[in-house]
Chains A and B, each alone.
Chain A
Amino acid sequence: MNLAIECQQLTKTYPSRPPVEAVRGLDLTVRGGECYGLLGPNGAGKTTTIEILEGLLAPTSGMVRVLGREWGKLDDEIRQRIGVSLQETRLSEKLSIRESVVLFRSFYRDGLDPDDVIRRLSLQDKADARVGKLSGGQKQRLAVACALVGDPELLFLDEPTTGLDPQSRRELWEIIRSFKSQGRTVLLTTHYMEEAEKLCDRVGIVDQGRKIAEGSPAELMASLGSDHFVEFTLANSFDNFGREEKRGGIGQGLAGEPANTCSPAESPPPRGLQQFRSLPSVRSVAMVEGRIQLSVVEPHVVLPALMELIAARRWGLTSLTTRHASLDDVFVALAGHRMNESDAA
């Protein structure tokens, strides 16, 4: 099989006090023609990883092979065949779009016609506009244009849609899809679950410098054991229900009997969260941010039973939602914390 990227036991430690271990033993294989997404919160080591793969950073240890070659010898041969869009490159504001794309085109031995690339990215109306006058979405498309103008076989995109509005994001997805449809390979990083689900053939979930899961979005979601979530809140608070389950142990079920210290006047739930576990089609139960969350296979089976139970116990239902499982849930299940919690850290 033709591999676009292989890396084994990749580590990167930044020398500081204390040393920062950005990447801690990461294995990665990207096949030719696929779109692979590195998904994880900020600070997970995604950018460090992609910059090592792009040959911009030297790894502390580990093996990296890009398009069958290792960095360090004949780097030019690799660079001729890859296209890169870094996070937050600010191209010269005084140059026009066309001038910028032509400049990047000149660095490559072979490549595409700059005007064709500009048209492919729907920037032709702005081709003579200065970069400083462009919107965020247009600037990002220009960055991708500069990455594509060398006609690469392998495209690296580091958080290509961060900070973009939904419309610009969808436009960029279309461009990436059309690039992939020519049989080319894409490696992108993102912290948007939706982006990974919509765009990637395979996703590697990265947390704290390690890959904690890998597979197609569908496979990853299947690993949850169920496709749907039913979430609800009850009037007589279940706050004290499952202190031990607050970390959201999806797939683990509930270990042991939760401490039930709440004793409301009406009908106290006798056995805590565990009682929902016995409803049909429910795989697991958890307290997530004050809501009771049921991981279920078939919502239409569990819902009537749940309504019946709540009515019988005369708990007041204050909210109820059902939704498809997302990669977000996969991340929570695997990492034990939410993506945005790490954003703040």
Chain B
Amino acid sequence: MTSNRSARYSPLVQLILARCREFYREPEAVFWSYGFPLLMATALGFAFRNKPAEQFAVDLLDATATDPIVARLIEDKRFKVQLSDETESRRRLRTGVTDLVVSLRRDNDSLRFDYLFDPTRPASLVARNAADDALQRAAGRQDVAGASDQHYEEPGGRYIDFLVPGLIGMSLMGGGLWGVGFVTVDMRIRKVLKRFLATPMKKHQFLAGLMASRLLFLIPEVVTLLLFTRFVFGVRNHGSLFAVIVLILIGASAFAGLGLLVASRAKTIEAVSGLMNLVMLPMWIASGIFFESSRFPDEVQPVIKALPLTQLINALRAVMLEGHAITSQWPNIVGLVLWGVVSSVIALRWFRWS
């Protein structure tokens, strides 16, 4: 009888090794896991970089450039002024080319500004107030109290700082669901699951191997994203690194469990892809990857806060942006652990091996 207790013949080690080899020998999979979040961070980081001052597009009606008030507005660097007629301006407003349409009226001595804008567009609203302020001053208004502006530009408050925890969460969700779910269904289709079932392999070892290899893959995934945004955009973690690592591990396990659940019975790639999208779409939209999830109405907030991606991203932001202690995030952590445990247990029970 040969000695078999070595790591060489540990099923868990071999299952993890096999998964890692399959993954790294598939260049496309490596690109989509590691390259995609970087591309996203780069594109969004540049698109939403803090501009020196925001410019508003303003259309003026019934005005001439020689009018002194109009001239003052054109000089103001905050505005990109266009003299236009009403039909054209309305079209430009509708298509979002311009933020605000102002018509100037001079009747004898009285001067009047009429503003046309979309109050649901933040840029429109801000443009209306800024333009009104500039025009009133140009017309001779005196401020009654002194005022001064100081600009806060600490790293940590920029959009890219806000975005990085969101991207980490998104990448953990995609990686967990696709990485575990897709692979599982593929093995089912190739009848490898059935073949494994015919061996003495323990089922929980197989599932543990899948989850563990998923946790291994995310290390380079998260590290490249963090280093890249650190060096390109100066994004820093304002909380404890340990807390971030713990949150990432818990989050990744929750999504791996969810991936397993989604894949527990599907028999085709089409079926599992549909299910994945069904599970991911609400979180893509509502969990605050790109903007605060608190913008959604109060009535749906309990649902949004119960989603695992919201829990993960909120906890990551609290730690990374605000430097909160991990213990303050216990409700989110409990939520994530529950998602992971409950979905894994159900998945194991429902799991179809052939």
**Residues of A in contact with B (beta carbons under 8 Å apart):** 54-56, 76, 79-80, 82, 84, 86, 88-92, 94-95, 99, 102-113, 130, 146, 150
A95 to B25, CA, bound (A): 9
Question: Which residues of B178-196 have CB atoms within 8 Å of chain A's CB atoms?
Answer: 190-192, 194-196
Set of chain B residues within 8 Å of A84, measured between Cβ atoms: 195, 198-199
A92 to B26, CA, bound (A): 12
Question: Which residues of B194-234 have CB atoms within 8 Å of chain A's CB atoms?
Answer: 194-201
**Whole-angstrom distance between the Cβ of B130 and the nearest chain A Cβ:** 59
On whether the beta carbons of A102 and B199 are closer than 8 Å, the reply is: no
Of A91, A105, A107, A110, the residue contacting B192 (CB under 8 A) is A91
Set of chain A residues within 8 Å of B192, measured between Cβ atoms: 89-92
On whether the beta carbons of B4 and A94 are closer than 8 Å, the reply is: no
Of A54, A86, A106, the residue contacting B191 (CB under 8 A) is A86
Q: Which of B2, B4, B199, B200 counts the most A-chain CB atoms under 10 A from its CB?
A: B199
User: In chain B, what residue has the closest Cβ to A100?
Assistant: B18
Q: Which of A107, A111, A150 counts the most B-chain CB atoms under 10 A from its CB?
A: A107
**Whole-angstrom distance between the Cβ of B8 and the nearest chain A Cβ:** 7
Count B interface residues, CB 8 Å. Answer: 29
Taking A107-B200, A109-B4 as given, write out 10 further A-B residue pairs in contact, using a Cβ cutoff of 8 Å, ordered by the A residue number.
A56-B197, A79-B198, A86-B195, A86-B198, A90-B190, A103-B17, A107-B196, A108-B199, A130-B25, A146-B195
Supposing A90-B192, A94-B21, A95-B21 touch, asked if A55 and B14 sit within 8 A by C-beta, the answer is: no
On whether the beta carbons of A54 and B198 are closer than 8 Å, the reply is: yes
Contact with A along B258-296 (1 / 0, CB 8 A): 000000000000000000000000000000000000000
On whether the beta carbons of B10 and A89 are closer than 8 Å, the reply is: no
Set of chain A residues within 8 Å of B138, measured between Cβ atoms: none
Q: 3 shortest A-B CB distances, which residue pairs?
A: A106-B14, A84-B198, A90-B190
User: In chain B, what residue has the closest Cβ to A78?
Assistant: B200
**Whole-angstrom distance between the Cβ of A51 and the nearest chain B Cβ:** 9
On whether the beta carbons of A56 and B191 are closer than 8 Å, the reply is: no
A106 to B25, CA, bound (A): 22
On whether the beta carbons of B190 and A89 are closer than 8 Å, the reply is: yes
Of A86, A110, A146, the residue contacting B1 (CB under 8 A) is A110
**Whole-angstrom distance between the Cβ of B213 and the nearest chain A Cβ:** 13
Set of chain B residues within 8 Å of A79, measured between Cβ atoms: 198-200
Contact with A along B8-29 (1 / 0, CB 8 A): 1111011101100110011000
On whether the beta carbons of B22 and A56 are closer than 8 Å, the reply is: no
Set of chain A residues within 8 Å of B11, measured between Cβ atoms: 106-107
User: In chain B, what residue has the closest Cβ to A143?
Assistant: B195
On whether the beta carbons of B14 and A89 are closer than 8 Å, the reply is: no
On whether the beta carbons of A103 and B22 are closer than 8 Å, the reply is: no
B136 on the A face (CB < 8 A): no
Set of chain A residues within 8 Å of B26, measured between Cβ atoms: 94
Of B4, B17, B191, the residue contacting A111 (CB under 8 A) is B4
Set of chain A residues within 8 Å of B197, measured between Cβ atoms: 56
Set of chain B residues within 8 Å of A86, measured between Cβ atoms: 191, 194-195, 198
On whether the beta carbons of B200 and A109 are closer than 8 Å, the reply is: yes
On whether the beta carbons of B191 and A90 are closer than 8 Å, the reply is: yes
Supposing A92-B192, A111-B4 touch, asked if A99 and B21 sit within 8 A by C-beta, the answer is: yes
A110 to B200, CA, bound (A): 11
User: In chain A, what residue has the closest Cβ to B9?
Assistant: A106
Set of chain A residues within 8 Å of B14, measured between Cβ atoms: 102-103, 106
A226 to B285, CA, bound (A): 78
Q: Which of A55, A91, A102, A106 counts the most B-chain CB atoms under 10 A from its CB?
A: A106
